[in-house]
C-alpha cells in the first residue's frame, strides 16, 4: 500500500440517538468502522479522524488506524441536527 492510499470506503447512516452531539457521533462512528474492519469489540483503535460537513446532515470522515490503515466514510444523519460550536 502506498502512503496516503485509501484502504476502505464506507457509508453509514445514523439515527438521532447516535448523533445527539459530535462526541456521540464520533463514538458511534469508531464503533461502526471497527465492525466493518472486523476488529473484535468494534474498537478500531482510531489514530486520527477528520470530519467535514459537505451537505446538510452529510459528512465525510477520513480516518486512520493505529496499524496504518486509512479510509473514508460518508456519514449521513437521518434527521436535521445542528451542534453548538
30-85 confidence digits (pLDDT tens): 888 878 877 654 555 677 777 787 777 788 888 888 777 888 888 888 765 455 54
CA distance 35 to 2: 24
Is pTM, for the whole model, over 0.75?
A: no
Q: What was the pLDDT predicted at 81?
A: 45
Residue 67 maps to a domain: yes
Helix, strand, coil percentages in the chain from 3-state DSSP, rounded to 5? 25, 40, 35
> In which domain, by residue range, is 70 found?
8-77
Q: What was the pLDDT predicted at 85?
A: 46
Residue 48 maps to a domain: yes
Contact 14, 25 (CB under 8 A): yes
Residue 82 maps to a domain: no
pLDDT at 8 over 70: yes
Residue 83 maps to a domain: no
pLDDT band for position 10 (cuts 50, 70, 90): confident
The total number of structural domains in the chain stands at 1
Amino acid at each position: 500500500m502506498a502512503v496516503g492510499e485509501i484502504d476502505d470506503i464506507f457509508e453509514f447512516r445514523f439515527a438521532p440517538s447516535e448523533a445527539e452531539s459530535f462526541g456521540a457521533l464520533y463514538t458511534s462512528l469508531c464503533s461502526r468502522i471497527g465492525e466493518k474492519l472486523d476488529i473484535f469489540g468494534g474498537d478500531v483503535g482510531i489514530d486520527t479522524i477528520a470530519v467535514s460537513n459537505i451537505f446538510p446532515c452529510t459528512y465525510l470522515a477520513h480516518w486512520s488506524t493505529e496499524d496504518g490503515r486509512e479510509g473514508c466514510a460518508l456519514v449521513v444523519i437521518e434527521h436535521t441536527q445542528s451542534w453548538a460550536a
